[in-house]
Amino acid sequence: MTLLLAFGCALGAPVLLYAWLWCGERLSRALPRRAGRAARPAVWLGPAVALLGVYLLWPLLSTVFLSFRDAAGDRWAGLDNFRYLAGDPEVHDALANNALWLVVLVTACTAVGLVVALLGDRVRYEAAAKAAVIAPLSISFVSGAVIWRSMYDYAPPGLPQTGTLNAVLTALTSAEPIAWLADERTGNPALITVGVWMTAGFATVVLSAAVKGIPAELHEAARVDGASWWQELRHITLPQLRPALLVVSVMVAIAALKAFDIVYVMTNGSYQTNVIANVLYRQLFVNQDYGKASAIALLLVVLAAPVIALNQRVQRAGEAR
């Protein structure tokens, strides 16, 4: 039945779209010339606007509505759910961890991508070096989290260490093994390291393309004038890479705000590693509290809105250039 329904949707959607456009074009031609020209954009944009409303606007409006309802979504709760956001320590800790993710992930990913892009452009084995950094992009965040959870595995001192990091640490030094994920001092850095490993490839791809796009004449002119490598980097390379750096920073910032997979798989928010998306998941699927979950979802939208606006501004600036 499910397969038949999917086949019907796959076949019916193009047919309905074609019928809509055919009827709309016939109607536009039948109208007076001025009215037909005014109606034609509505005919062609209508399906896209309808899909946008169904898949984006309606869920957003439903979330806003539910954020003012009780846990079951049956009764009006007023601002109770937002008071929960303002006063709950778990939400505050999660927001603090998201801020840490935002700062460290954006800085580290941008730095790694920039270093690999600049140095890789100067060596013969550029393809192999970049492939090593980009390879994690081919797997999901859940798979990466499972891999790194095994690497962070911990056994008490005196027992065989099955985790790669602790095995190397105890074999090469006299230090005791570290409970990377169970220690509040190392939990967040360990998780963010996985995030950097998973997303640095994206920064490398974008920045490598931007480095290749810098006109060679600029560097040649600088060398003729006696500029050092550092002066070239500061006055030519980095200014030319500024749009690409902004794009990378914005996209990685969005990934930091919605961080969930790595935290859920590796710690489930324990040991002071909780993030706001994990709190949302717990309220929605564990506590079955639709009101609080919707309020948290709106909080994520508010936090992401400035980043999305910055991304749009960067894109428009790039198009203007």
Residue 171 inside a domain? The answer is yes
Please tell me whether residues 208 and 280 are part of one structural domain: yes
Structure-block tokens of residue 3: 């397969």
Angstrom distance (rounded) from CA 31 to CA 152: 69
Q: Structure tokens of 1?
A: 């039945």
Same domain, yes or no: 39 and 172: no
What pLDDT shows up at residue 199?
Answer: 94
Examine the domain organization and report whether 50 and 114 are in the same domain.
no
CA dihedral 227, 231, 235, 237 (to 10 degrees): 100
Q: What distance in Å separates the CA atoms of residue 25 and residue 33, rounded to the nearest whole number?
A: 12
Q: Which residues pair with 264 in a beta bridge?
A: none
Decide if pLDDT at 60 tops 80: yes
Q: What is the mean pLDDT of residues 239-252?
A: 90
pLDDT-derived band at 265 (thresholds 50, 70, 90) equals: very high
Asked if pLDDT for residue 320 goes beyond 70, the answer is no
Q: Identify whether 72 is part of a domain.
A: no
Residues 164-199 pLDDT 10s = 999 999 999 888 999 999 999 999 999 999 999 999
Number of domains in the chain: 2
Contacts for 129-136: CB closer than 8 Å, 24+ residues apart: 130/204, 130/208, 133/200, 133/201, 133/204, 134/201, 134/204, 134/205, 135/201, 136/197, 136/198, 136/200, 136/201
Give the span between the Cα atoms of 95 and 73, in whole angstroms. Answer: 25
Handedness of CA 21, 27, 30, 32 (dihedral sign): negative
What whole-number distance in Å separates Cα of residue 256 and Cα of residue 102?
A: 5
Q: Which two tokens stand for residue 79?
A: 């601002």
73 within a domain of the structure (yes/no): no
On whether both 156 and 224 belong to a single domain, the answer is: yes
| Residue ranges making up the domain that contains 275 | 81-320
Residue 186 lies in a domain: yes
